[in-house]
Amino acid sequence: MSGFFNSSIGRKYAMAFSAFFLIIFLVIHLAVNITSVFSEDVFNDLSHFMGTNPLIQFGLQPILIFGVVFHFVMGFVLEAKNKSARNIKYARNNGAANSTWMSRNMIYSGLVILAFIVLHFIDFWIPELNTKYVQGDMSGLLADGEGFRYFEELQHKFVNPLRVGAYVIAFILLALHLLHGFTSAFQSVGATMGRQKAMKNIGKAYSILIPLGFIVVALFHHFNH
């Protein structure tokens, strides 16, 4: 199979498999985040479970990091190869006549998402690693010991309107990325169901609702902190 994954089509499969994994991950991430809008306690309990469960922390988290890094690195590698396949550009090219803006600009929406992930890691992931694995505090409790810290940290992050603005922009770009990527992933693995109307509609619904959910969470906590 090594020959398969070295071929152009094998790389399409690899991109699609990592995309499917990330599509499922986004659903789980939003399912946890959205609870913060309805219940502080449920959000705290879920966050503590996700942040301390060994299977999630040492089993799923490394796979997730690999999936994210792989999707980005492979995306850049393929983009570079694709760019080099046309050494002289057209003087006039009417891309809008035969394809969507989203499909032609996956690299740019991807770059914005990458910038967002860097910001997100600085905001949440690195402080979490610091608290849990550098300072050794696995309790998940506030400094005064009065309840879990997760909800308070979440609200605190969304005070700054610039950060909220950056999150909203990034999620709009994520929606655009998904509007092509969702059905494209099915096509890449040879599943023509991605071309059928029902699956196209599911893709559209997913691509709009998931980023919208994240935007709602960010805006809710900005206006309700």
Partner 1 sequence: MNLTLKIWRQKGPQDKGKMVDYKVSDISEHMSFLEMMDVLNEQLVNSGEEPVAFDHDCREGICGMCSLHINGEAHGPDRGITTCQLHMRMFKDGDTITIEPWRAKAFPVIKDLVVDRSAFERIQQAGGYISVNTSGNTQDANSIPISKHAADEAMDAAACIGCGACVASCKNSSAMLFVGAKVSQFALLPQGQVEATDRVKNMVAQMDLEGFGNCTNTGACEVECPKGITLENIARMNRELFKASLIKF
Q: How far is the CB of 9 from partner 1 (least distance, A)?
A: 5
Contact set for partner 1, span 93-112 (CB under 8 A): 93-95, 97-100, 103-104, 106
Q: Report the residue count for the chain.
A: 225
Cβ proximity to partner 1, 107 vs 142, nearer residue? 107
Question: Which helix H or strand E contains 37, and what residues bound it?
Answer: helix 8-38
**In angstroms, rounded to a whole number, what is the distance separating the alpha carbons of residues 75 and 107?**
7
**In angstroms, rounded to a whole number, what is the distance separating the alpha carbons of residues 138 and 140?**
6
Q: How far is the CB of 176 from partner 1 (least distance, A)?
A: 14
The three-state secondary structure class of 158 is: coil
**Do 23 and 206 form a contact (C-beta atoms < 8 A)?**
yes
- Among left, alpha and beta (phi > 0; psi -120 to 50; other), residue 178 is alpha
Q: How far is the CB of 190 from partner 1 (least distance, A)?
A: 3
Per-position x/- string for 30-49, each x denoting binding to partner 1 as judged by CB under 8 A, each - no binding: --------------------
Binding span for partner 1 by CB under 8 A among 47-55, 89-97, 151-159, 213-221: 89-97
Cβ proximity to partner 1, 28 vs 77, nearer residue? 77
Q: Does 197 bind partner 1 (CB under 8 A)?
A: no
Angle between helices 61-84 and 106-120 (to 10 degrees): 150
Residues 6+ apart with CB under 8 A from 178: 23, 203, 206, 207, 210, 211
Q: Does 131 bind partner 1 (CB under 8 A)?
A: no
Q: Does 156 bind partner 1 (CB under 8 A)?
A: no
Binding span for partner 1 by CB under 8 A among 17-25, 85-93, 133-141, 204-212: 85-93
Q: Does 88 bind partner 1 (CB under 8 A)?
A: yes
Beta-bridged to residue 141, according to DSSP, are 148
Q: Does 92 bind partner 1 (CB under 8 A)?
A: yes
Q: Which residues bind partner 1 (CB under 8 A)?
A: 1-4, 7-13, 78, 81-82, 84-95, 97-100, 103-104, 106, 180, 183-184, 187-192, 195
